[in-house]
Amino acid sequence: MKLYKNMGDCGDFSAYGGLLVYREGNRFQAEYWQAGDSEEDNGTAYRFDLDKCTLTDGILSDNPYHPKLESWFAKSIESMASFGGVSTGELRQWFCSEDIYWLGRAYELLGHYHGFFELDSYPLELSEAEARKRYYHVERYNRRHNRQGG
């Protein structure tokens, strides 16, 4: 998979973290990096698919084969939206968006609200050195796309 968008920190990504979006064909996958509290603490990388939802007859579904089957997080959409400072309608639009930026923001808010462990129950634990090695390509991406830190 190739890095498609850095939606996280544009400075030292491995130290501060955030959301990265990778693309392979029509498939998008996100990785949320949460750095450790200190250099001695491991950080955590959560990986999850960015699946576009549907909204049919007021039902928010993450199942493309059963659009009337409510997603596991649909019942909390109002509190999640309030938590994120957006309207419920706006958050529903984000989950159904063709724009990967808004879809990524929807899943990032979902992770912050419910916990990223709900999106990836087998996250990677990385030391600072492992994180720098894993996210080296983010610095190149930032330079290529004129994203400056600081």
Helix H, strand E, coil C: the string for the chain is CEEEEECCCCCCHHHHCEEEEEEECCEEEEEEEECCCCCCCCEEEEEEECCCCEEECCEEECCCCCCCCCCCCHHHHHHHHHHHCCCHHHHHHHHCCCCHHHHHHHHHHHHHHHCHHHCCCCCEEECHHHHHHHCHHHHHHHHHCCCCCC
Radius of gyration of the chain (CA): 16
Residue with tokens 């997603």: 71
Residues 103 and 52 sit within 8 Å (Cβ to Cβ):
yes
pLDDT tens track for 99-114: 999 999 999 999 999 9
Q: Which two tokens stand for residue 82?
A: 């309030």
pLDDT tens track for 17-67: 789 999 999 999 999 999 888 777 899 999 999 999 999 999 999 999 999
Percent of the chain exceeding pLDDT 70 equals: 92
Model-level pTM?
Answer: 0.89
